[in-house]
Amino acid sequence: MPRLSKKTMFAIEAVLDVACHVGDQPVRSADITERQRIPKRYLEQVLQHLVRAGILAGKRGPRGGYRLGRDKAEITLGEIVRVVRTLEAETEPNDPSIGSPLAHEVVWPMWEKLRDEMMMQLDIVTIDQLCRHAKAKGLGVAPAKPPQPPQVVA
């Protein structure tokens, strides 16, 4: 089966975190790191690629962070997977000379067909659907802090 790489999982978690937690202020990468336990070195690289792809929008500065690049009902898992696949292709060598004629003529074409079918399925699943599912499981937006009772000055 195709594997779900760490970077792919981190990218999906980051986009989902932004979708579920964005409010008046953008979501800070430090908050994503803390909530999702994503190593900062992975997160920053993935976030930059997601911004370039238009999935996220980034704002720099002390009040900066990330928002969705467009409506969460328009962002699919397939898009996120493609962004990460491109990122991984930049860092992982691909040697076409490896493998036998059997691999090149039979195994890889079958594998590509299965991957294409999986990508068609991922193109159906939206961040909005996943965000609603997370909220239904109590994993979405952090609960609001209860109001603090007024302090009585004596």
What is the reported pTM?
A: 0.81
Cβ-contact 47, 14 below 8 angstroms: yes
Comparing CA positions, the residue from 13, 137, 22, 130 lying closest to residue 68 is 22
Assign 91 a pLDDT band (cuts: 50, 70, 90): low
Whether the pLDDT of residue 128 is over 70: the answer is yes
Q: What is the dihedral of CA 81, 73, 65, 79, to 10 degrees?
A: 20
pLDDT digits over 11-27, tens only? 999 999 999 998 888 99
Three-state SS at 13: helix
- What was the pLDDT predicted at 143? 46
Rounded to an integer, the average pLDDT of 100-104 is 87
Rounded to an integer, the average pLDDT of 33-54 is 93
Whether the pLDDT of residue 148 is over 50: the answer is no
DSSP H or E stretch at residue 11: helix 6-21
Whether the pLDDT of residue 119 is over 80: the answer is yes
Give the C-alpha separation, 43 to 7, whole Å: 8
Listing DSSP states for 86-98 in one string gives HHHHHHS---TTS
- What was the pLDDT predicted at 20? 92
Assign 89 a pLDDT band (cuts: 50, 70, 90): confident
Give the C-alpha separation, 39 to 82, whole Å: 21
Whether the pLDDT of residue 121 is over 70: the answer is yes
Return the CATH number of the domain spanning residue range 6-136: 1.10.10.10
Burial label, 141 (beta-carbon count in 10 A; 0-12, 13-18, 19+): middle
